[in-house]
Amino acid sequence: MPESQAQPLEGKAALITGAARRIGAQLARTLHEAGANVIVHYRSSADEAAALARSLNAVRPRSAVTAQADLLETARIPRLVADAAAAFGRLDILVNNASSFFATPLGEIEERQWDDLVGTNLKAPLFLAQAAARDLGAARGLIVNLVDIHALRPLRHYPVYSIAKAGLVALTRSLARELAPEVRVNGVAPGPVMWPETLATELQQQIIAHTLLKRPGAPLDVARAVLFFAADAPYVTGQILAVDGGRSLGW
């Protein structure tokens, strides 16, 4: 395979939020394998972030760095983006992956839960996009937001999370308008991929039963969708790609 095909993101730089572990770590590995230099953002998973960066740098020296920030502290976001752009002299890709997820049954919702869920899933992606717009525009770059199929079909007992992800879908489409033609903005909507630790086994089985493929997905399925937008979809913007095993059709 020609080098240009093997490394479609060679020389590009990607900031991935929540990249120290789980799906975020797979996103970092997949984009790095495609040639990108990566900024591994984390909030509290310092050891995991450092280990991931070391593993990536062992493959390609000076190709990964870590960046710590609590995305609920909005005032810190411009510095995070500036440091990310400075790390490799450019910023081509922003992947808004960091997310809080927990139940908020109606009647028990507290304001702090609203602030956390909406803050990580909607507010932070907005302010990250705003801070990164100039650098991404200069690179004719890309934003990919990790949304959720529950943005359109709310998950019972998770109304605040579902609301926040619905807002992220609207934000994705709004940013596609606002940042065109320089920056493309798309979303990936995973279904049952890498269960949160708090999700009951019984609910997991119910969710799988509603997929057409009758099995959960893998983090790599999500990462390949993000890579598609980054490497193979230069004429696609404002779109949401469901990676859900057909669950959105299986209700």
> Annotated catalytic sites, by residue?
161
238: left (phi over 0), alpha (psi -120 to 50) or beta: left
For residue 171, give every residue at least 6 positions away whose Cβ sits within 8 Å of its Cβ, in sequence order, or none: 122, 125, 126, 129, 145
Query: Rg (Cα) of the chain, in Å, rounded?
Result: 17
- Alpha-carbon distance of 102 to 111, in angstroms, equals 14
- Alpha-carbon distance of 38 to 52, in angstroms, equals 11
Nearest alpha-carbon partner for 30 in 4, 58, 56, 68: 56
